[in-house]
């Protein structure tokens, strides 16, 4: 081995005769690099802590409710929210999860565009598809983990608190549902943010555009649902209320969990948005995001005209 | 071995390269041309990032476009700084090694060796944001060789390197080529390239202008007589005899240096033979003899600028 700053040419060079994998999970090094990059940021952990806060309140709520229940006042106990209702309420605080997704995802492809790094990546034995999957997964995995882990912790706390056997008798599929429900925000955010990131060279600009779309669309759907409620009825109005990025994420989540907090429809706590439009909207987000990524990810800028 | 057969690439109305046919064998080949000559397009065709509009490009007999099998045996060092600034050099090369398909248990050793080869041991764990241009250049080369490719493509690898760094890089690339690898270097630092190789590929406005040994190419350029500069005692005595030679077109004495003359010849081989005879006959004391335009820069100038 040469000394630092020594001659570059080194006669001790050893040819590499090991395997060169060109099959399998070729996207994984890209995804892993993105995940590691996110975890190296201190602000990521701040946002993770903030995203866990609703579930921390949920646990505190459960402790307080236990104290109330132990007094044995049946009238009070009957009106207390159930764990599932509280879980849905905590899940509904999706904004911190979105900020986690922004932190992880805005630069995912935009930074590569800016550095013209695609030239290098796509000269490696990976395809455009591998690259796009790798980038999507580098956002999906952290967002999924941030969505899922606090729910698992809160649910496990509830299970031990209420007695594991009786809890699972009451909620036999809850853990399975949690794994599914956590995928909803992860899918929506990762595909849309990566899609926007592919069409931009400035990560903060991607963040500004996404936040603007997110909140503006949410406000429009909310105003429209209230404005049109009398004409289209409660059921259509509540679906309209959830017809946005935020709405599709929370609405589908509530459907899967099986409860939803009140949405300003009086006692219509059990009035869910129709699942099909929201599922179609989520699918559209995924397809659009993947399409945006795939159409933009090229090793070279093509000059036309 | 890299082969282009009638390869053309168009970007809409813009020509990248036009009907280029050539073979690039083992050893170092310099890819030369002015800005817009088509060097980058050719490199992207060879590295499989572009598909030729017409014609065919093969690397070791396989089509490189989006072909992981070819790309796993190919190393590419682009001109631009393609980095995540918050990664260290070692992390960057490690990522590239994994993307190149190097087995997990081999990655650490391979990365260490590549970093060692480019002389970056002492700064490998520093963030890339703090790297100088020369250090970035070295780490880019490290990522290109980390998987021990059979074919190495380097776009302006000498940019940003100081003279010592250029020499070291030249040594590295020569050592790489000596192991039977194909090395294609795009560069505009002609005298440095000339130190590495005499084999060139000259592109001009998308077309292949010349390929082969730079001296052979120079000898074929008839319209520019070869200049030969001679330093000797009493050049004015031997000057008339040289001017009388049929291969000598012109001759002039250097006013500033009385012992120097410069002549132009259309047939350097014949001149050298005749010159030797005259020197022996007259017992002339020749101190230096060289041809200032028998080099890559002159070939480039004559071919491209006419």
Residue B305: per-residue pLDDT: 65
The CA–CA distances, whole Å, from B259 to A175, B39, B229, B251, B289 equal 96, 44, 11, 14, 12
B-chain residue closest to A28, CA distance: B99
Whether residues B13 and A22 touch (CB distance < 8 A) is answered with no
Mapping DSSP to helix (H, G, I), strand (E, B) and coil, where does residue B71 land?
helix
CATH code for the structural domain at B2-218: 3.40.50.300
Q: Which domain holds residue A116?
A: 25-296
Whether residues B99 and A21 touch (CB distance < 8 A) is answered with no
Question: What radius of gyration do chain A's Cα atoms show?
Answer: 24
A-chain residue closest to B164, CA distance: A7
Distance CA(A106)–CA(A98), nearest Å, equals 11
Residue B153: per-residue pLDDT: 94
Whether residues A126 and B168 touch (CB distance < 8 A) is answered with no
At residue B269's C-alpha, the angle toward residues B266 and B271, to 5°, is 65
Residue A93: per-residue pLDDT: 81
A-chain residue closest to B166, CA distance: A8
A-chain residue closest to B122, CA distance: A4
Distance CA(A34)–CA(A17), nearest Å, equals 29
The band of A85, judged by pLDDT with boundaries at 50, 70 and 90, is confident
Provide, as residue numbers in chain B, all residues whose Cβ is less than 8 Å from the Cβ of A129. none
Q: What is the mean pLDDT of residues B168-194?
A: 85
Looking at chain B, the whole-number percentage of residues with pLDDT higher than 70 is 96
Please, what's the b/e burial string for B140-156 (b: 16 or more CB within 10 A of its CB; e: otherwise)? bbbbbbbbbbbbbbbbb
pLDDT digits (tens, 9 = 90+) for A182-212: 999 999 999 999 999 999 888 899 999 999 9
Distance from CA of B275 to the nearest CA of A (A): 41
Whether residues B102 and A33 touch (CB distance < 8 A) is answered with no
* Residues whose CB is less than 8 angstroms from the CB of residue A5 and which lie 6 or more positions away in sequence, other chains included: B119, B122
Whether residues A7 and B179 touch (CB distance < 8 A) is answered with no
Tell me which H or E stretch contains B159. Answer: none
Whether the pLDDT of residue A9 is over 70: the answer is no
**Among A47-51, A257-261, B33-37, the range of highest mean pLDDT:** A47-51
Residue A303 placed within a domain: no
Residue (of B186, B182, B209, B140) closest to B26 by Cα position: B182
Whether the pLDDT of residue B221 is over 50: the answer is yes
State the pTM of this model: 0.76
Provide, as residue numbers in chain B, all residues whose Cβ is less than 8 Å from the Cβ of A303. 11-12, 14
Residue A7: per-residue pLDDT: 42
Q: Candidates 3.40.50.720, 3.30.70.100, 3.40.50.1240, 1.25.40.10; correct CATH number of B221-305? A: 3.30.70.100
Whether the pLDDT of residue A77 is over 70: the answer is no
Distance CA(B187)–CA(B202), nearest Å, equals 11
Of A40, A120, A303, the CB nearest to B14: A303
For the beta sheet containing B248-253, the strands, ordered from the edge strand earlier in sequence to the opposite edge, are B248-253, B260-265, B226-232, B286-290
Q: Any idea where the domains of chain B sit in the sequence?
A: 2-218, 221-305
DSSP A2-51: PPTT--S--TT-----S-B--SS-TTHHHHHHHHHHHHT-HHHHHHHHHH
Count of the separate structural domains present in chain A: 1
Provide, as residue numbers in chain A, all residues whose Cβ is less than 8 Å from the Cβ of B80. 115-116, 119
Provide, as residue numbers in chain A, all residues whose Cβ is less than 8 Å from the Cβ of B78. 116, 119-120, 123
Residue (of A227, A239, A230, A282) closest to A263 by Cα position: A239
**Among A14-28, A132-146, B220-234, the range of highest mean pLDDT:** A132-146
Provide, as residue numbers in chain B, all residues whose Cβ is less than 8 Å from the Cβ of A8. 117-119, 138, 168-169, 171-172
Q: What is the mean pLDDT of residues B246-251?
A: 89
């Amino acid at each position: 081995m040469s000394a630092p700053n020594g001659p570059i040419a080194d006669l001790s060079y050893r040819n590499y005769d090991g395997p060169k994998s060109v099959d399998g999970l070729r996207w994984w090094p890209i995804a892993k690099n993105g995940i590691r990059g996110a975890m190296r940021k201190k602000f990521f952990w701040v946002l993770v802590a903030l995203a866990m806060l609703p579930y921390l309140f949920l646990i505190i709520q459960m402790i307080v409710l236990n104290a109330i229940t132990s007094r044995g006042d049946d009238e009070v106990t009957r009106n207390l929210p159930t764990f599932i209702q509280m879980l849905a309420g905590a899940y509904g605080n999706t904004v911190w999860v979105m900020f986690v997704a922004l932190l992880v995802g805005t630069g995912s492809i935009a930074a590569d565009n800016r550095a013209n790094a695609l030239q290098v990546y796509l000269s490696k034995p990976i395809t455009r598809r591998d690259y796009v999957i790798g980038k999507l997964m580098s956002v999906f995995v952290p967002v999924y983990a941030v969505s899922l882990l606090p729910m698992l912790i809160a649910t496990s706390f509830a299970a031990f608190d209420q007695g594991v056997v009786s809890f699972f008798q009451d909620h036999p599929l809850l853990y399975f549902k949690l794994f599914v429900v956590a995928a909803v925000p992860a899918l929506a955010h990762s595909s849309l943010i990566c899609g926007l990131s592919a069409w931009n060279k400035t990560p903060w600009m991607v963040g500004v555009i996404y936040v603007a779309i997110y909140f503006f669309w949410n406000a429009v759907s909310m105003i429209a649902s209230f404005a049109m409620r009398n004409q289209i009825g409660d059921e259509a109005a509540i679906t309209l209320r959830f017809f946005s990025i935020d709405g599709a994420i929370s609405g589908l989540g509530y459907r899967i969990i099986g409860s939803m907090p009140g949405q300003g429809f009086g006692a219509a706590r059990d009035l869910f948005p129709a699942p099909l439009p929201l599922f179609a909207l989520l699918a559209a987000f995924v397809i659009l995001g993947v399409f945006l990524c795939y159409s933009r990810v090229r090793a070279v800028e093509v000059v036309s005209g | 071995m890299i082969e282009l057969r009638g390869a053309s690439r168009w970007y809409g109305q813009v020509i990248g390269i036009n009907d280029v046919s050539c073979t690039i064998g083992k050893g170092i080949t310099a890819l030369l041309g002015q800005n817009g000559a088509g060097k980058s397009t050719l490199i992207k065709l060879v590295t499989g990032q572009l598909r030729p509009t017409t014609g065919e490009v093969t690397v070791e007999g396989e089509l490189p476009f989006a072909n992981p099998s070819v790309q796993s045996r190919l190393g590419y060092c682009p001109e631009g700084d393609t980095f995540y600034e918050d990664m260290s050099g070692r992390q960057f090369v490690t990522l590239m090694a994994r993307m190149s398909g190097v087995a997990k248990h081999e990655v650490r050793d391979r990365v260490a060796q590549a970093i060692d080869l480019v002389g970056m041991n002492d700064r490998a764990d520093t963030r890339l944001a703090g790297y100088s241009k020369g250090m970035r250049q070295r780490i880019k080369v490290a990522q290109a060789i980390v998987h021990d490719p059979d074919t190495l493509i380097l776009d302006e690898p000498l940019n940003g390197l100081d003279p010592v760094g250029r020499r070291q890089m030249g040594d590295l690339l020569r050592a790489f080529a000596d192991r039977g690898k194909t090395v294609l270097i795009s560069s505009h630092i002609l005298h440095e390239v000339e130190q590495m190789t005499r084999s060139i590929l000259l592109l001009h406005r998308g077309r292949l202008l010349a390929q082969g040994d730079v001296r052979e190419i120079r000898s074929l350029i008839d319209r520019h007589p070869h200049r030969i500069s001679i330093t000797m005692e009493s050049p004015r005595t031997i000057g008339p005899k040289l001017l009388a030679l049929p291969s000598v077109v012109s001759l002039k004495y250097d006013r500033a240096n009385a012992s120097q003359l410069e002549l132009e010849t259309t047939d350097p081989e014949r001149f050298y033979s005749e010159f030797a005879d005259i020197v022996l006959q007259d017992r002339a004391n020749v101190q230096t003899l060289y041809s200032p335009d028998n080099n890559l820069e002159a070939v480039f100038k004559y071919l491209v600028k006419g």
